[in-house]
C-alpha cells in the first residue's frame, strides 16, 4: 500500500465511522459531515478532499498529504478519540499456545505440558505512548506496553493491533490504573534506554564539535586582534567575545537533547491466557511456571539464567539452564557476554511491579501518576 | 557546557525520558466513562503512527506541494542539507536551477516535522511579494510581509527585506526572539562583515539558516570567508589563517590550495551546476518592430507630449501619486490605445490636473476611443497564423487583454484567458483548457506563476514591462526546468516608443533574452543605482531634447554593459573557487 493509499483508507474509514457521507468523484472525495464533526474538523459541512496536490484547485479541495492542513485536522480528530475503553481478543484455534512456546524456544520443555495448561481470560492494560526525541532533529516512535494483573509490563509490537480485536462491553478495569501506568512507564524506559542513549551521545558529540570549533575560532581571532595591536583593540575584543557567547548559547539551544513520552491511550484488553509448568530435565531444577496470552504472545515467568533477559527467545541447555541467544553463543554460557547488561537491569524488558525492577542507570524520568516523585535511579 | 575532553561519563549526563504531565488526564478519564470503541482506539493508534516523524530518511513534503516539478538535484540538495549539513548551508546553485524551491522544500520538511515553527525570509525588496506568493502557492506556507515593527511578534512566518530589517526599530525587534529558520536570498549582500546587513544576520538567534547565492564570491575571497563564518565560524579557520592558507596572492580573488578549500566548503555548501544538473534548451528571440497607424502614432505622440510636459514640470507641482499615474499612462499607451483610454478618462474626470490639462486629456480620450483596432494585433495574428505552436501571450493590462480576446475569438483562435481577478478554480480551468485544447494562453502578469506551462515553448510579449524582471518572469513560465525544446520569445513593439529604448538596452546591449532566468537580476544588481530600472527609463524618456535622450540612453547602455562584464567576472571567480570541473582552476 502506498502512502497515499494508506491516507485514503484511514480518512474514508474514519469519516464513515463518524457518520459522514463519503463519495468518490475522480481524484476527489466529497464529504458531507454532520455539524459537530464539521466544526471539529473545520472544513465545513460539505467539502472535497484530494490526495493529488495538483487537483486541489478543483472545488477548493483540501489536500491530504504529510503536513497538509486537511490531514492534520483529521489526524487530530482521530487522536482525540479512542483514548480509553475495553476490547477483547478473539481466537478460534487453541494452537496459539503451542506457537507461542515454539516462538520462545520452549516447546521442547513444554510440549508435553500443553494438555495440562490452565486457560482462562485475563485482562491486560495496554498503554500506548508516543515517544519524541528532539535536538536539532526529531525522531518519534509509537510504543505499546502491556501490563498484566501482577504488574509485569512488556513492550508489544504495533502489528498486534492488526489482530482480531473486538469491543468488550464490560472492560474489567484494574482499580489501580496509576500502578499499571508506572509499570508501563518503567518498561518503556527500559525498552528505549539504548535508543535514548544513542540519541543523547550523538547530540553531545555534535555539541562538542560545535563548541570546540567556536572556542578555537574566537580565541584565535582575539589573539590575532591583539597581535595586530590596532587602535580600539579592547572594544574589538569585547565585541568578538560577546559574539562568541551568543554563538555558544545558540549551539546549546540547538543541540540540547530531549526525550519525551506522551501517553496517547490506555485500554483494557481481555485475552485468553494459559498457565503451565515447564519441567526442566535437570537434576535439582525447579519447574518453571510460565504464563502467556494469545494476543501479545509473550511468555512471562522465564528469564535467561545468564543475563536475566525476560523477553526470549531462549534455548534450554542441560548444563546451564535457560539461555537467551547471545548468552547461548558464548562458551557454555559461563561468562556474561561483553556489552550485555547485568541481570536485573531493564535493558530488554522489565519486571516492574515486583519490587525488583530498576530504572536504567541515570534515569530521572517523572511519572505524573506517581505523584510527580522522582523515579528510582 | 558539555565537556570537550570526552571525560564526562554518560551517567552524569544521562538523558531522562520525561513523561508528559498531560498523561494524568487520560488516566483520570479512563475511570469516568465507558470508553470508546475498539475501532476508535485502532484509529487513534493509526493516526499517531501516520504522523510520526522518523528523521530525514526521505522527503515528506512532495505530495503536498503544488505545481512543483520533482527534480533529482533539488531532492538531493534538500536531503543533504537536512541530513548532513543539519540545516545550515549555503545553497550556491548556478542561476536557474531552483534555489528558491530547494529552500522552500527544506523549510517545508522542517515544518512538517514540527522543527520549524518560526521562520524569517530576507530577500531583496523587489522579490518580497514573489517569495510570499511562491511560499503560499507552491508550499502552502503563509508568509506575511513585515510592514511595521509590531509585526515581528504577530506572525510565525515573516518576510522582510534586509534593508528594512537592519534598521531600527526593526533590527531590535527581529533580534529579540529566536528563529527556527532564517533564509537569506541573494546572500552575497552579506559579503562584508562591517556592514549592517552582516551584523543583523549575525545577531539573529537561529537554529537553522540557509544562505542563497549563485555567486558567493563577487570581488574577493574575503566575501566567501565572511559568508561561511556567518554560518559556521571557524570552518575556514580564522581570518589571518584563511588568508595565509587559501588566498594565493596580493590579488585576493585568486585562491590557493583550491582542493583543500573546496573540501572545507563541502561541509557547508551545496552547488549544482547546469551542465551536471539540468541544461536548459536555448532561447531564440524574434523582434517584431511595428509601425503604428497614423491615428495611433498621433495619439502616442500626443500622450507622450502631455506626459513629458506634466512629468518635467517644476517639482512640487504634481503629487507623487499623479507622477505614478503618468508613468502608468505612458506604459499603457505602449500596450494599447484601449488600455490608455480608461486612464485618460479617469484623469479627465479627476481633479489632479487643472482645467486646461483636463480639456487636453478629454481630447486625448476622444482621440483614443476613435481608434478601434491596433496594428500590433494584426502582427500578432500574422504570427499566430504562421505557427502551429501553443503560445503564451502576455500583456500587462486587463483592457488590452479584453481587446486581444475579442480579436483572437473573431479570428477563430481558441484562447484560454487568465488574469489575477479570476478565482482559483477558474485559473485552474484556464491552465487545463490551454494544456488540453486551446492554442493561446492570454494572460496578464499573474500569468501562471508557479504553474507548469512547459508544454508550450513560445512566449509572445504583446507589450514590454519596463521592469526587466517582469519580462524575465514571463519567459520563465516556459524557459525553466522541464522544458526540453528550444524556446521562442517574440517581442512586439512599436518603433519610436519607449519600448524601442527598452529593446535597445536589454536585447542589443546585454542580450537579456539569451540569459538564464535569474541572471538579469544579478546583472542589474551590479548597477550602482538607487533608482529602479523603470524610474531610470522614465527619467530618460521625460527629457525634453531628442539628443539629450539619446545621450542618456547611451550612458545607461554602457553602464549595463559594464554591469554584465562585472557579473561575468564574478562568475569566473566562483567557478575557479567552487567548481571542481572548472577548466584552468588554480591547483
Give the model confidence (pLDDT) of B159-204 as tens digits.
999 999 999 999 999 999 899 999 999 898 898 988 999 999 999 9
Model pTM score = 0.76
C-alpha–C-alpha distance, residues A288 and A279, integer Å: 6
B268: pLDDT strictly greater than 90: yes
What chain B residue is nearest to A84 in terms of C-alpha separation?
B35
Q: A56-85 in b/e burial notation, b at 16+ Cβ within 10 A?
A: bbbbebbbbbbbbebbeebbebbbebbbbb
Confidence of residue A377 (pLDDT cuts 50, 70, 90): very low
B587: pLDDT strictly greater than 50: no
Interface A-B: count of C-beta contacts within 8 A: 283
Report, as an integer, the average pLDDT of B515-533.
78
Question: Ranked by mean pLDDT, which of A363-377, B318-332, B397-411, B528-542 comes out on top?
Answer: B397-411
B293: pLDDT strictly greater than 90: yes
C-alpha–C-alpha distance, residues B342 and B399, integer Å: 8
User: Which of chain A's residues have a Cβ under 8 Å away from the Cβ of B11?
Assistant: 361-362
User: Which of chain A's residues have a Cβ under 8 Å away from the Cβ of B46?
Assistant: 10, 78
Q: How many residues does chain A have?
A: 377
Contact at CB, B35 and A141, closer than 8 angstroms: no
Confidence of residue B510 (pLDDT cuts 50, 70, 90): confident
Count of beta carbons in the 10 Å neighbourhood of residue B195: 15
C-alpha–C-alpha distance, residues B414 and B433, integer Å: 10
Closest CB to A212: pick one of B4, B24, B202. B4
Closest CB to A136: pick one of B114, B207, B238. B207
A357: pLDDT strictly greater than 60: no
C-alpha–C-alpha distance, residues B399 and B409, integer Å: 16
Contact at CB, B27 and A86, closer than 8 angstroms: no
Q: Which residue has the higher pLDDT, A135 or B523?
A: A135
User: Which of chain B's residues have a Cβ under 8 Å away from the Cβ of A248?
Assistant: 1
Closest CB to A53: pick one of B1, B66, B206. B66
For residue B521 the three cell numbers come to 537580476
C-alpha–C-alpha distance, residues B438 and B412, integer Å: 11
The C-alpha of A78 sits at a distance from chain B's nearest C-alpha, in angstroms, of 5
Closest CB to A361: pick one of B11, B60, B61. B11
Q: ipTM of this predicted complex?
A: 0.85
What chain A residue is nearest to B52 in terms of C-alpha separation?
A140
User: Which of chain B's residues have a Cβ under 8 Å away from the Cβ of A69?
Assistant: 140
Q: Say what the pLDDT of residue B450 is.
A: 56
Which residues 6+ apart lie within 8 Å of B133 measured at CB? B449, B450
For residue B151 the three cell numbers come to 509585526
The C-alpha of B35 sits at a distance from chain A's nearest C-alpha, in angstroms, of 4
Contact at CB, A263 and B27, closer than 8 angstroms: yes
For residue B64 the three cell numbers come to 503536498
Closest CB to B64: pick one of A66, A196, A212. A66
C-alpha–C-alpha distance, residues B434 and B440, integer Å: 7
3-state secondary structure of A229: coil
The C-alpha of B519 sits at a distance from chain A's nearest C-alpha, in angstroms, of 29
A245: left (phi over 0), alpha (psi -120 to 50) or beta: alpha
Contact at CB, B16 and A365, closer than 8 angstroms: yes
Question: Ranked by mean pLDDT, which of A124-138, B264-278, B523-537 comes out on top?
Answer: A124-138
Contact at CB, A142 and B65, closer than 8 angstroms: no
User: Which of chain A's residues have a Cβ under 8 Å away from the Cβ of B61?
Assistant: 66-67
A25: pLDDT strictly greater than 70: yes
Closest CB to B53: pick one of A4, A138, A221. A138
Closest CB to B50: pick one of A75, A246, A369. A75
Q: Say what the pLDDT of residue B531 is.
A: 80
Tell me the average pLDDT of chain A.
Answer: 81
User: Which of chain B's residues have a Cβ under 8 Å away from the Cβ of A171?
Assistant: 35
Q: Say what the pLDDT of residue B164 is.
A: 94
Helix ranges restricted to H, A89-147: 95-103, 107-110
Closest CB to B26: pick one of A83, A86, A249. A83
A331: pLDDT strictly greater than 60: no
Q: Cα dist. A360→A132, A191, A201, A340, A376 in Å?
A: 18, 10, 16, 13, 9
Q: Which residue has the higher pLDDT, A359 or A105?
A: A105
Contact at CB, A366 and B428, closer than 8 angstroms: no
C-alpha–C-alpha distance, residues B214 and A217, integer Å: 27
The single residue listed with the C-alpha cell 547471545 is A326
Contact at CB, B26 and A265, closer than 8 angstroms: yes
A361: pLDDT strictly greater than 60: no
Contact at CB, A82 and B43, closer than 8 angstroms: yes
Strand partners, A278: A288
User: Which of chain A's residues have a Cβ under 8 Å away from the Cβ of B36?
Assistant: 81-85
For residue B167 the three cell numbers come to 534598521
B538: pLDDT strictly greater than 70: yes
Q: Which residue has the higher pLDDT, A365 or B171?
A: B171
Q: Say what the pLDDT of residue B185 is.
A: 93
Confidence of residue B304 (pLDDT cuts 50, 70, 90): very high
Confidence of residue B79 (pLDDT cuts 50, 70, 90): very high
Residue A140 phi/psi, 5-degree rounding, is: -125, 155
Contact at CB, A82 and B39, closer than 8 angstroms: yes
Closest CB to A60: pick one of B11, B22, B425. B425
The C-alpha of A332 sits at a distance from chain B's nearest C-alpha, in angstroms, of 32
For A52-100, the pLDDT digits (tens) are 876 766 667 888 988 888 899 999 999 999 999 899 998 877 788 888 8
Contact at CB, B18 and A366, closer than 8 angstroms: yes
Strand partners, B209: B88, B182
> Which of B13, B31, B35 to mutate to probe the A interface, most A CBs <10 Å?
B35
User: Which of chain B's residues have a Cβ under 8 Å away from the Cβ of A58?
Assistant: 425, 428
User: Which of chain B's residues have a Cβ under 8 Å away from the Cβ of A254?
Assistant: 207
C-alpha–C-alpha distance, residues A84 and A332, integer Å: 48
The C-alpha of B229 sits at a distance from chain A's nearest C-alpha, in angstroms, of 10
Helix (H) or strand (E) holding B425: helix B424-436
> Which of A170, A265, A271, A365 to mutate to probe the B interface, most B CBs <10 Å?
A265
Nearest Cα residue to A95 out of A111, A77, A79, A76: A111
Q: Say what the pLDDT of residue B63 is.
A: 86
Which residues 6+ apart lie within 8 Å of A102 measured at CB? none
Q: Say what the pLDDT of residue A222 is.
A: 94
Q: Are B348 and B358 in contact (CB under 8 A)?
A: yes
B582: pLDDT strictly greater than 50: no
Q: Are A168 and A86 in contact (CB under 8 A)?
A: yes
Helix ranges restricted to H, A269-368: 325-329
The single residue listed with the C-alpha cell 470508546 is B36
C-alpha–C-alpha distance, residues B445 and B418, integer Å: 9
Closest CB to A217: pick one of B3, B52, B234. B234
What chain B residue is nearest to A220 in terms of C-alpha separation?
B238
The C-alpha of A105 sits at a distance from chain B's nearest C-alpha, in angstroms, of 31
Amino acid at each position: 500500500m502506498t502512502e497515499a493509499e494508506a491516507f485514503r483508507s484511514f480518512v474514508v474509514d474514519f469519516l464513515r465511522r463518524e457518520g459522514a457521507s463519503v463519495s468518490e468523484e475522480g481524484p476527489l472525495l466529497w464529504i458531507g459531515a454532520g455539524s459537530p464533526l464539521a466544526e471539529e474538523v473545520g472544513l465545513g459541512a460539505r467539502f472535497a478532499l484530494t490526495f493529488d496536490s495538483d487537483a486541489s484547485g478543483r472545488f477548493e479541495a483540501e489536500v491530504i498529504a504529510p503536513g497538509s492542513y486537511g490531514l492534520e485536522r483529521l489526524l487530530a480528530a482521530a487522536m482525540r478519540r479512542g483514548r480509553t475503553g475495553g476490547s477483547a481478543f478473539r481466537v478460534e484455534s487453541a494452537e496459539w499456545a503451542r506457537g507461542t512456546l515454539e516462538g520462545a524456544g520452549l516447546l521442547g520443555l513444554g510440549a508435553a505440558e500443553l494438555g495440562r495448561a490452565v486457560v482462562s481470560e485475563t485482562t491486560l492494560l495496554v498503554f500506548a505512548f508516543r515517544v519524541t526525541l528532539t535536538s536539532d532533529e526529531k525522531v518519534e516512535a509509537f510504543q505499546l506496553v502491556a501490563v498484566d494483573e501482577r504488574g509485569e509490563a512488556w513492550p508489544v509490537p504495533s502489528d498486534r493491533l492488526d489482530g482480531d480485536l473486538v469491543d468488550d462491553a464490560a472492560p474489567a478495569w484494574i482499580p489501580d490504573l496509576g500502578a499499571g501506568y508506572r509499570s508501563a512507564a518503567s518498561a518503556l524506559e527500559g525498552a528505549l534506554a539504548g535508543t535514548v542513549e544513542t540519541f543523547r551521545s550523538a547530540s553531545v558529540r555534535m555539541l562538542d564539535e560545535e563548541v570546540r570549533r567556536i572556542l578555537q575560532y574566537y580565541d584565535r581571532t582575539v589573539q590575532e586582534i591583539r597581535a595586530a595591536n590596532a587602535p580600539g583593540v579592547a572594544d574589538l575584543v569585547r565585541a568578538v567575545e560577546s559574539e562568541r557567547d551568543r554563538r555558544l548559547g545558540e549551539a546549546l539551544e540547538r543541540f540540547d537533547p530531549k526525550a519525551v513520552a506522551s501517553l496517547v491511550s490506555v485500554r483494557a484488553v481481555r485475552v485468553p491466557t494459559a498457565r503451565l509448568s515447564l519441567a526442566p530435565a535437570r537434576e535439582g531444577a525447579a519447574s518453571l511456571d510460565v504464563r502467556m496470552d494469545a494476543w501479545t504472545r509473550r511468555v512471562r515467568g522465564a528469564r535467561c539464567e545468564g543475563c536475566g533477559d525476560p523477553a526470549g527467545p531462549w534455548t534450554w541447555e542441560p548444563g546451564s539452564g535457560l539461555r537467551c541467544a547471545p548468552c547461548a553463543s558464548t562458551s557454555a554460557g559461563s561468562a556474561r557476554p561483553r556489552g550485555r547488561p547485568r541481570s536485573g537491569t531493564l535493558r530488554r524488558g522489565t519486571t516492574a511491579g515486583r519490587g525488583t525492577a530498576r530504572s536504567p542507570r541515570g534515569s530521572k524520568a517523572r511519572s505524573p501518576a506517581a505523584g510527580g516523585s522522582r523515579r528510582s535511579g | 557546557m558539555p565537556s570537550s575532553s570526552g571525560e564526562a561519563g554518560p551517567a552524569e549526563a544521562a538523558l531522562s525520558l520525561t513523561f508528559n504531565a498531560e498523561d494524568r488526564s487520560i488516566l483520570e478519564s479512563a475511570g469516568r466513562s465507558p470508553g470508546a470503541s475498539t475501532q476508535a482506539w485502532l484509529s487513534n493508534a493509526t493516526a499517531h503512527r501516520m504522523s510520526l516523524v522518523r528523521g530525514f530518511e526521505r522527503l515528506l513534503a512532495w505530495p503536498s506541494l503544488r505545481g512543483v516539478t520533482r527534480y533529482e538535484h533539488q531532492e538531493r540538495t534538500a536531503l543533504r542539507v537536512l541530513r548532513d549539513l543539519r540545516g545550515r548551508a549555503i545553497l550556491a546553485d548556478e542561476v536557474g536551477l531552483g534555489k528558491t524551491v530547494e529552500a522552500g522544500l527544506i523549510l517545508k520538511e522542517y515544518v512538517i516535522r514540527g522543527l520549524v515553527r518560526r521562520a524569517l525570509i530576507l530577500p531583496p525588496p523587489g522579490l518580497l511579494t514573489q517569495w510570499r506568493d511562491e511560499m503560499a502557492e507552491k508550499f502552502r506556507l503563509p508568509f506575511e510581509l513585515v510592514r511595521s515593527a509590531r509585526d515581528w511578534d504577530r506572525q510565525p512566518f515573516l518576510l522582510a527585506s534586509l534593508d528594512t530589517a537592519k534598521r531600527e526599530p526593526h533590527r531590535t525587534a527581529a533580534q529579540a526572539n529566536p528563529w527556527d529558520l532564517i533564509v537569506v536570498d541573494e546572500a552575497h549582500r552579506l559579503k562584508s562583515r562591517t556592514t549592517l546587513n552582516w551584523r543583523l544576520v549575525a545577531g539573529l538567534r537561529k537554529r537553522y539558516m540557509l544562505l542563497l547565492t549563485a555567486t558567493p564570491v563577487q570581488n574577493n575571497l574575503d566575501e566567501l570567508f565572511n559568508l561561511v563564518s556567518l554560518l559556521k565560524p571557524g570552518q575556514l579557520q580564522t581570518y589571518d589563517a584563511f588568508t595565509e592558507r587559501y588566498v594565493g596572492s596580493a590579488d585576493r580573488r585568486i585562491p590557493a590550495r583550491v582542493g583543500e578549500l573546496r573540501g572545507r566548503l563541502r561541509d557547508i555548501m551545496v552547488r549544482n551546476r547546469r551542465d551536471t544538473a539540468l541544461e536548459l534548451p536555448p532561447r531564440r528571440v524574434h523582434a517584431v518592430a511595428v509601425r503604428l497607424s497614423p491615428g495611433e502614432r498621433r495619439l502616442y505622440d500626443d500622450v507622450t507630449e502631455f506626459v513629458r510636459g506634466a512629468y518635467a514640470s517644476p517639482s512640487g507641482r504634481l503629487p507623487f501619486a499623479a507622477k505614478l499615474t503618468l508613468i502608468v499612462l505612458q506604459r499603457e499607451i505602449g500596450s494599447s490605445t484601449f488600455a490608455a483610454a480608461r486612464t485618460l478618462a479617469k484623469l479627465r474626470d479627476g481633479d489632479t490636473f487643472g482645467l486646461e490639462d483636463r480639456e487636453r486629456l478629454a481630447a486625448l480620450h476622444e482621440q483614443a476611443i476613435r481608434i478601434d483596432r491596433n496594428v500590433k494585433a494584426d502582427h500578432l495574428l500574422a504570427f499566430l497564423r504562421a505557427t502551429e505552436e501553443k503560445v503564451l501571450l502576455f500583456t500587462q493590462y486587463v483592457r488590452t487583454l479584453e481587446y486581444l480576446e475579442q480579436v483572437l475569438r473573431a479570428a477563430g483562435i481558441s484562447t484560454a484567458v487568465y488574469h489575477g481577478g479570476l478565482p482559483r478554480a477558474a485559473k485552474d480551468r484556464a491552465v487545463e483548457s490551454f494544456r488540453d485544447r486551446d492554442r493561446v494562453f492570454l494572460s496578464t502578469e499573474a500569468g501562471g506563476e508557479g504553474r507548469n506551462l512547459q508544454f508550450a515553448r513560445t512566449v509572445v510579449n504583446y507589450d514590454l514591462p519596463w521592469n526587466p524582471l517582469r519580462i524575465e518572469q514571463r519567459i520563465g513560465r516556459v524557459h525553466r526546468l522541464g522544458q526540453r525544446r528550444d524556446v521562442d520569445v517574440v517581442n512586439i513593439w512599436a518603433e519610436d516608443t519607449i519600448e524601442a529604448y527598452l529593446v535597445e538596452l536589454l536585447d542589443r546591449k546585454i542580450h537579456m533574452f539569451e540569459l538564464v532566468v535569474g541572471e538579469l537580476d544579478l546583472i542589474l544588481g551590479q548597477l550602482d543605482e538607487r533608482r529602479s530600472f523603470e524610474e531610470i527609463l522614465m527619467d530618460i524618456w521625460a527629457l525634453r531634447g531628442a539628443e539629450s535622450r539619446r545621450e542618456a540612453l547611451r550612458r545607461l547602455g554602457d553602464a549595463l554593459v559594464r554591469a554584465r562584464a562585472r557579473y561575468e567576472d564574478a562568475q569566473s571567480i566562483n567557478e575557479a573557487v567552487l567548481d571542481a570541473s572548472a577548466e584552468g582552476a588554480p591547483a
